[in-house]
Amino acid sequence: MLRLDKYKYLLFMKTSKINIFLRIIALLLIIFPIIFYHEFYPHFYAYLTGNVINQVITANWHWVLISILLFCAFIIPLSYRRRANWLEYGLVGAFFVSLFIEMYGIPLTILFASKYFYTPNLEFPLNNVITFKLLGTGFGMDLAMAYAAIIIGIGITLILIGWITLYQNAKKNRFVTGGIYKYSRHPQYLGFILIVLGWFIGWPTILTLIFTPVLIYKYIKVCQTEETELPQTAPGYSQYISQAPFFI
C-alpha cells in the first residue's frame, strides 16, 4: 500500500512538472506578439481597416471549397467526452464557411471596412517571412500569420491526440484519465479554441472579431457543462479534477 502511494505521488509530481513546462511554453507564446509589437500592430490595423484589400486573394473558389471541406471534415466529426449537439456543429461550420469565403472568394468585411477606413498610398510593413505556391496560387505569410499558423498547428495536434486517446480507450468503456488527459481535462476543446484564436490572429477582420469571442465562450461553456454531467457517470471524477488542470 505504501509503495502504491509512493508511485502515485511520483506520478503526480512528474505530471506537475510537465504542466509547469507547458505553462512556460504557453506564456512565451502569449508574450511573443508583445515583443514583436511593431510587426503585429500593422498586421491587425491593415486587416481591420480594410487597407489590405489590394493584397488579399479573391475568386479562388477551388480554395474556398477545399478549405471548407478539409476543416469541417476534420473538426466536426471528432469524438469528445460528450456528444456535441447540432448547434455546436452549426456554429463551427458557419465560422469556417464564412471565413474561407472571405479569405479566398469575396472579402466582404474587408471591403466594408475599406469603404470607411481605407487610406490611399498608405504603406504597411507587412513583410512576408514565408512564401510558397500551391495548386497555382501564391501564398505569403507575414510574422503574425506565421505565428497564427503555429497556434493553429498546436490546436490541431491537441485535437488529434485527444481523439486518438479516446478512440484507443473506447472499447474499455471507462472514463479516460490517461495520456494527454493527465495534463488537461479538456485538451480537444483547448485545441479548438486555439484554432479559432489562430484564425483570428492570422485573419483579423470584422468577421473573425465577431465570431472568435462567441465561439470561445461557447466552448468554455461546453467544458463546464461536461464537468457537471461527468461526475454522474464517472466515479472518481472529483479526484481527477484535483489532479488535472482545466486546460493546462
Q: Would the pTM count as exceeding 0.85?
A: yes
Whole-number Å distance between alpha carbons of 94 and 68? 10
Per-residue pLDDT of 150-172, as tens digits, reads 999 999 999 889 888 888 876 66
127 versus 117: which is more confidently predicted?
117
- Provide the residue ranges of all domains of the chain, joining segments of one domain with +: 2-243
Whole-number Å distance between alpha carbons of 19 and 9? 15
**Residue 27 exposed, middle or buried by CB count within 10 Å (0-12, 13-18, 19+):** exposed
Confidence of residue 87 (pLDDT cuts 50, 70, 90): low
Confidence of residue 14 (pLDDT cuts 50, 70, 90): low
Residue with cell 512538472: 17
Per-residue pLDDT of 129-154, as tens digits, reads 888 888 888 888 999 999 999 999 99
Confidence of residue 2 (pLDDT cuts 50, 70, 90): very low
Q: Give the largest Cα separation in the chain, rounded.
A: 75
Is residue 247 within 8 A of residue 184, CB to CB? The reply is: yes
- Residues written for the chain: 248
In this structure, how many other beta carbons lie within 10 angstroms of the beta carbon of residue 169? Answer: 16
Confidence of residue 82 (pLDDT cuts 50, 70, 90): low
For the segment 51-78, the average pLDDT, to the nearest whole number, is 83
DSSP-derived secondary structure for 211-245: HHHHHHHHHHHHHHHHHHHHHHHSTTHHHHHHHS-
Q: Tell me the angle at which helices 108-117 and 206-233 cross, rounded to the nearest 10 degrees.
A: 130
In this structure, how many other beta carbons lie within 10 angstroms of the beta carbon of residue 66? Answer: 15
CATH 1.10.10 fits 2-243, yes or no: no
